[in-house]
Amino acid sequence: MIPGARLIILGRQGAGKGTQCVRLSRHFVVPHISTGDMLRAAVREGSELGRMAKQVMDAGGLVGDDIMVGIVEDRLNRDDARTRGYILDGFPRTVPQARALDGITSERPIDCVIDLDVPRDLVLARISSRRVCRDCGTNYVSTHGLEKHPWICEVCGGDVMQRDDDTPDAINRRLDLYEEQTSPLIEYYGSDGRLVVVDGVATPDEVFVRLTAAVEAARRPG
Ligand code: AP5
Ligand code: MG
């Protein structure tokens, strides 16, 4: 039986969290819980949450902590996450979210927190080339005009487009907010030994090998 996992993946916007979490979720057979994907699904559904979140996301801001904690708590209480575990992508993103998560997971603590480390200049280049399937969220890299139009997703046949928050202004705001609000989590999880830093500057295959090795090492007794 493949062991499950309870993981948090931190990292700047564009570090490759979503790309790697899809692979890690298959590897450990646990749900990939991306708060960004959950909010984008709410936007597509046109729910009240989605209408509020769209304005905040398109401006590169952060949705309120109470709302995000409630969404994640509900998701972690579902059977798959309770029994197998989960990979959290994009949560927590502030110290209050991390404190709330420690309370939610007190009975079944996380295995480790990984900081997928990629410098700001490189993530800017990755985000500006990113294209995403509007329906299933698969990531693609734009070859700047050489791709086919319309661009159809190879996985589900949906439209491949640029994300609404991948505009230069929103990208810069998101990266500034990362430094202000999210980077303190490196200290938060580092101070009690839960943090592992993984260098995310390599091919997606190489980064995946580094991540699985880091999780196995963190779980090894002693
Ligand atoms: P979210 O969807 O989480 O976006 P983000 O944080 O901006 O992160 P990204 O998805 O941009 O980056 P990623 O690390 O997943 O990179 P990816 O794998 O795509 O959140 C969106 C918004 O929702 C937030 O701004 C906020 O408003 C709101 N929100 C979400 N959670 C919240 C919370 N907890 N609290 C409050 N608000 C919240 O990779 C990027 C590109 O690089 C891709 O094109 C990919 O193909 C490419 N790539 C990946 N790996 C490599 C590699 N190794 N080499 C070369 N290219 C690579
Ligand atoms: Mg992502």
193 CA to centre of ligand 1 in angstroms:
25
pLDDT attached to residue 133: 93
Q: Cis bond leading into 119, ω under 30°?
A: no
Ligand 1 contact via 16 beta carbon (within 6 Å): yes
Residue 32 backbone class (left: φ over 0; alpha: ψ -120 to 50; beta: rest): beta
The two three-digit tokens of residue 145, written as one number: 């005009």
- Of these residues, 17, 40, 54, 131, which one is catalytic? 17
Active site residue 148: no
Ligand 2 centre distance from Cα of residue 126 (Å): 12
Determine whether the shortest distance from the Cβ of 91 to ligand 1 is under 6 A: yes
Predicted pLDDT at 148: 76
Q: What's the pTM?
A: 0.95
Query: Would you call 40 a catalytic residue per the annotation?
Result: no
- The residues pairing with 141 across neighbouring beta strands, listed in sequence order, are 130
User: In terms of Cα–Cα distance, which of 206, 221, 185 is closest to 23?
Assistant: 206
14 lines ligand 1 (CB under 6 A): yes
Number of CB atoms found within 10 A of residue 131's CB = 20
Q: Does 93 sit in the ligand 1 pocket, CB within 6 Å?
A: yes
CA-to-CA distance for 164 and 12, rounded, in angstroms? 18
pLDDT along the chain (222 residues), means of 10: 91 96 96 96 96 96 98 98 97 98 96 97 93 90 80 94 91 95 97 96 98 93 74
